[in-house]
Structure 1
Amino acid sequence: MDSSSDRSLVVWLAVTVLVAICVVFAKNLGPLVIYPDALVLPVTDPMNTAMRWFVVTFGWFFKAISWLLDWPILLAKSLLHAVPWAAWFVLWIYLALRAGGRGLAIFTAISLMYMVTFGFWSQSMNSFALVVVSIPMAVALGFALGTWGFLSDRAYRIIMPILDLMQTVPAFAYLLPILLLFGFGTTVGLVASILFAFPPMVRNTIVGLRGVPDEVIESGLMSGATPSQLFWRVRVPTAQRQILLGVNQTTMASLSMVIIASIIGGTNDIGWEVLSTMRKAQFGESLLAGIVIALMAMVLDRITWGFAVQSSPTKRGAAGWIICAVLFGAAWLLALLFPPFKDWPEAWVLNPAPAMNAGLEWIFVEFRTVLEAIKRAALFYLMLPIKIGLSQAVSPFTWGFAMTPAVTTGYSLIVAAVAAYFSFKGKLLPALWVILFALVLYSGLTGLAWVALSAVIVALAWQAGGKNLALWALAGVAFLLLTGIWEPSVISLYLCGVGVLLSFIFGSAIGTWASENDTVSRMVRPVIDTLQTMPLFVILIPFVMVFKIGEFTALLAIIVYAIVPAIRYTEHGLRNLPHDVIEAATAIGTTPRQLLWQVKLPLAVPSIMLGLNQTIMFGISMLVITALVGTDDLGQQIYIGLGDGDFGVGMTAGIGMAIIAMIADRITQGFSQQIQARLGVKLNESL
């Protein structure tokens, strides 16, 4: 056993002993179990005081900006509503045809007709006005900062940590300072959309400009290009594809803010339609409106992606655009002659919402026993044991027996037997992990002493990334403790942890199946594409319909959203393995089962681990949305801060959630790099 293994064994032995002491003697350890309130720093009041001073001192400046930004939004709304829907129909069909061919054009036509015939056209245009204005601003800001980060290493070192923080702090958290500075209204949604959407543009701009081959630069220099010409005529065109991918991601990020912006904008748009109907428990109406946002997202995603991935900027003749302009004008003239082509008549609007609500009620009544059984089983046998531990979750009402001393002894003997088996095999570290897991499961995350859970987190960080990451994790844990948000942080950890675990298990299984079966892959791909473009609020709607509010509903929403990267990265990793390795393994006579388990899966582990990393990020991003259904985690703290205008509470919770996300990100990246080094493979990042 080498020295690093010895150190790992010593560290985990110390952590296991500490956790065991905290579990066994929990009633006698006092402040080591529950963090004392006296040691919590009063950070929220100074933050609120500072924010109030800033608003009083500089509020006039931001109100002036708000007044200026109102004008482009009003102009966009006026333009979008002035043009008949039939004319917009022609333009968008043409763009879809150019970007993705006949299939995308048909899908776009169906999507637009859905908005028209279901009576959502006016609200869709109000939402789209926000997107139309925010995207160019976010793209311009992102491109400028990305260029600065490319040209200056010092700027790069400043920009990247800020981007990490902005992309991990929930959008609701920084809605609070925007709200205080700009006040209620559409402008707040615009500013929030820009701030949320520009980071992907920055990253893609830097990656694209840095990825320009040296020979291309040398060719430009040899032709006598000035620095300005070299940048605009050589670097930018060469990096165009990566930059356009940034535009695509910025577009999607901007659209994802539509509902969130509606909370503080209060305009008659699709986001407000979803929220208002959800609050009234009109689930059919809410789902119909939510589908509009999903369709808008998918259409914009496919069109911008189609233009981004085109191999080269083809020289398109003017004939296509002339035909489009003629048809656009003809559609406008048609709308003047026949009013239904301008404003869809109310009598023609389809409204299946009552039937949907009735159908949902029928399902709930007919299958109530089954649905309640599923919910009860998940709560009693999975969620509560992890949250409050077997010591409290096991009871005659839930499990049919109590956690008596005899049962506890039996549990301890089973754990000891499994640990002894690993020890006998010479696997001492796994034996310690078995004991540690059993102790945590017995106590539960919320029942575990803060000093014990902190030690586990820091030890994981040390195992994944060494001393620096351990110190970083220790600083993050200290922030959660000192600011008084430890308890909601642990609930966030529990809820996200269970969701990510199930998402990763089922997602990697589906991804493996899809990699081995083309039919399954073709069936799965549109589903995960839809889930990835579906706004988070919309994902929550069907689960609230069936299971009402509660942690189980939140868990299902997290699973459905976070399962996407697990499926996508697993399939990608298994389908993009070196052909020579697969051929060599096949030549020596491996069976399909052996080929999968002994060759493909080990080689695809780095890509699968990246899927786990993204699954964690997706799960955390969903936590803020699930706070709407009654969770008591950091997401709820952010809502409380937003509702009360309490900058300190909301921002502290937002930073806490960002800390959890970044620690989880660094730990999974560290373990992934270790696995890559052990297997001697590198991750193919072409996904």
Structure 2
Amino acid sequence: MNSSIIGKSVEDIVNFLFERFRGGFDAFSAALSAAVELLENALAAVPYPVMLVAFVALALWRRGVFFAVFVGLALGAIHFMGLWSQTVSTLALVMAATLLSLAVGVPLGIWGARSERVGVALRSMLDFMQTMPAFVYLIPAVILFGLGRVPAVIATIVFAMPPVVRLTTLGIRQVPHELLEAGRAFGSTELQMLWKIQLPNALPSIMAGVNQTIMMALSMVVVASMIGAGGLGEYVLGGIQRLDIGIGFEGGLGVVLLAIVLDRLTESFGVRKPRKAAPAAKAKA
């Protein structure tokens, strides 16, 4: 089966990048691999009981007793199935992909909100990124960066970044004009308005984007395991290759439990809790 002129053109571009900038790609791959490995080693160095207490305490603070109990049971089930090391590896991969997605996506979202032309161009690019099958990203990633965690992180970033870009743009555009006019009236610069008015008011929307980015990164776990990402995805992939229902189900359950924990925790940071009324106000009432 031969590709058409479009496919051949894309192939030529990837080959050109590989041949001309191979040294740069190798250097970037080594740096990113070292960063992900450092993050994974740091998480693996934390004993399971300490990690369990930390997650339960965070859940108790953000969501309450019921969710804290669920987190304790979920992490306990993962540990009981013997998947803790794989879960830590997956968590490191998701954290690295999410942080890089935010580092690129939030500035792009701000840029798109402040420029209509950039916003239109970004929407077209994001539509392409979200509708292109995830497996397609793996091909150029493997060619440019080889096998392992690095191409998995790169492919995950491309797949998971669109929500945070879209929701950052949406959140900034939905900031009330009255607040912007008040900021201008007080002589605020564009940078001050961004940091003190637009971003704080857009935070719930941005955090929703962070939440969706994490979920989409987790959905790439099994796909990324095909090129050596490791973690829970590799466990699920092993079950598929051996047609072992038990192994596949345990790996999938580990992904689901981790996804629920991360989803509810990140979602809680985007919800503004109502402020309690002051004692004086209560007395007057």
Match of 1:194 among 154, 157, 160: 157
Is 2:69 aligned against 1:106?
Answer: yes
Residues 138 and 197, structure 1, Cα contact 8 Å, conserved in 2? yes
1:117 corresponds to: 80
1:18 corresponds to: none
Q: Distance in 1 between matches of 2:50 and 2:121?
A: 46
Count of residue pairs the alignment pairs up: 275
1:293 corresponds to: 255
Is 2:100 aligned against 1:137?
Answer: yes
1:575 corresponds to: none
2:140 corresponds to: 177
1:204 corresponds to: 167
Match of 2:242 among 244, 265, 280: 280
Q: How do residues 313-462 of structure 1 correspond to structure 2 at under 5 angstroms? A: none
Deviation at 1:154, TM superposition (A): 1.6
* Counterpart AA for 1:53: F
1:421-458 Cα offsets, whole Å, 9 max, x none, are xxxxxxxxxxxxxxxxxxxxxxxxxxxxxxxxxxxxxx
Q: TM-score, normalised by structure 2?
A: 0.91
Q: Secondary structure at the residue paired with 1:309?
A: coil
* Counterpart AA for 2:266: T
1:580-611 Cα offsets, whole Å, 9 max, x none, are xxxxxxxxxxxxxxxxxxxxxxxxxxxxxxxx
1:88 corresponds to: 51
Match of 2:191 among 214, 217, 228: 228
Residues 167 and 209, structure 2, Cα contact 8 Å, conserved in 1? yes
Is 2:148 aligned against 1:148?
Answer: no
Q: How do residues 7-156 of structure 1 correspond to structure 2 at under 5 angstroms? A: 41=4, 43-156=6-119
Q: Distance in 2 between matches of 1:313 and 1:291?
A: 38
Match of 1:161 among 105, 124, 127: 124
Is 2:270 aligned against 1:308?
Answer: yes
Deviation at 1:313, TM superposition (A): 8.9
Q: Distance in 2 between matches of 1:42 and 1:64?
A: 32
Q: Distance in 2 between matches of 1:181 and 1:283?
A: 35
Q: Distance in 2 between matches of 1:196 and 1:41?
A: 25
* Counterpart AA for 1:60: G
Deviation at 1:59, TM superposition (A): 2.2
Q: Distance in 2 between matches of 1:43 and 1:249?
A: 32
Q: Distance in 2 between matches of 1:212 and 1:248?
A: 20
Q: Distance in 2 between matches of 1:240 and 1:273?
A: 36
Among the aligned pairs, what percent are the same residue?
A: 36
* Counterpart AA for 2:51: W
Q: Distance in 2 between matches of 1:43 and 1:231?
A: 41
Q: Distance in 2 between matches of 1:141 and 1:255?
A: 19
* Counterpart AA for 1:96: A
Q: Secondary structure at the residue paired with 2:227?
A: helix
Deviation at 1:62, TM superposition (A): 1.4
Residues 187 and 265, structure 1, Cα contact 8 Å, conserved in 2? no
Residues 166 and 209, structure 2, Cα contact 8 Å, conserved in 1? yes
1:122-172 Cα offsets, whole Å, 9 max, x none, are 111111110121111111211010011011112112111000010000111
Deviation at 1:54, TM superposition (A): 2.6
Structure 1 residues 220 and 270: CA distance shift in structure 2, 3 A: same
Q: Distance in 2 between matches of 1:192 and 1:83?
A: 28
Q: TM-score, normalised by structure 1?
A: 0.39
* Counterpart AA for 1:63: D
Residues 252 and 297, structure 1, Cα contact 8 Å, conserved in 2? yes
Deviation at 1:254, TM superposition (A): 1.3
Q: Distance in 1 between matches of 2:227 and 2:259?
A: 21
1:283-330 Cα offsets, whole Å, 9 max, x none, are 11110111000000111011111221234699xxxxxxxxxxxxxxxx
Q: Distance in 1 between matches of 2:173 and 2:223?
A: 34
Residues 113 and 169, structure 2, Cα contact 8 Å, conserved in 1? yes
Higher relative contact order (CA 8 A, sep 6+): 2
Unaligned runs of 5+ in 1: 1-36, 315-687
> Which of structures 1 and 2 has the bigger CA Rg?
1
Unaligned runs of 5+ in 2: 277-285
2:279 corresponds to: none
* Counterpart AA for 1:136: L
Q: CA RMSD in A?
A: 1.8
